């Protein structure tokens, strides 16, 4: 591993520990040339996953797009970054379990909505409004009514 300070390729591992629910390993290293310490992360390289867009195009899966949508829906709400990162991680793991290497945006949106419904109802409604592209007040009210009916149970 190349030292970020002096670009030397020789370093030794001082400490290793699992992070991210065991999905990666954090390694603390010491450069053999300059003696400075730095941290690296080792993560399993996943097979590529492609998202099938509504218009039929395919593009590489990008969890940062999911995070951006959730951040937008949670803006101003009492939702921590850890909760958002946890949702993104769960959605990403579920997306990668598809056996054919492709997943539709509709499936991703449904996964996010299910997570947000459990986390914060306002964030759920905000995300649904954009994701489902409500075109009129009636369809928006139908979604709200479903949420109210589910809470009565």
**How far is it, in rounded angstroms, from Cα 149 to Cα 153?**
7
Does residue 141 or residue 27 have the better pLDDT? 27
Does residue 139 or residue 77 have the better pLDDT? 77
**Tens digits of per-residue pLDDT, 100-133?**
889 999 999 999 999 999 999 899 989 988 887 7
Does the pLDDT at position 63 exceed 90?
A: yes
For residue 153, what pLDDT band results from cuts at 50, 70 and 90? low
| Spatial CB neighbours of 14, under 8 Å, sequence gap ≥ 6 | 28, 29, 30, 37
Per-residue pLDDT at 148: 80
**Tens digits of per-residue pLDDT, 71-87?**
999 999 999 999 999 99
């Amino acid at each position: 591993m190349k030292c970020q300070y002096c670009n030397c390729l020789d370093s030794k591992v001082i400490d290793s520990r699992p992070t991210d629910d065991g999905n990666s390993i954090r390694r603390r290293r010491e450069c053999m040339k300059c003696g400075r310490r730095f941290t690296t992360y080792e993560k399993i390289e996943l097979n590529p996953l492609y998202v099938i867009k509504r218009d039929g195009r395919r593009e590489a899966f990008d969890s940062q797009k999911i995070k951006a949508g959730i951040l937008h829906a949670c803006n101003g709400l009492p939702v921590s970054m850890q909760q958002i990162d946890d949702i993104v991680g769960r959605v990403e793991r579920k997306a990668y379990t598809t056996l054919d290497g492709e997943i539709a945006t509709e499936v991703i949106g449904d996964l996010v909505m299910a997570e947000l419904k459990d986390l914060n109802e306002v964030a759920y409604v905000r995300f649904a409004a954009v994701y489902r592209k409500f075109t009129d007040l009636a369809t928006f009210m139908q979604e709200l009514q479903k949420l109210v009916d589910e809470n009565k149970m």
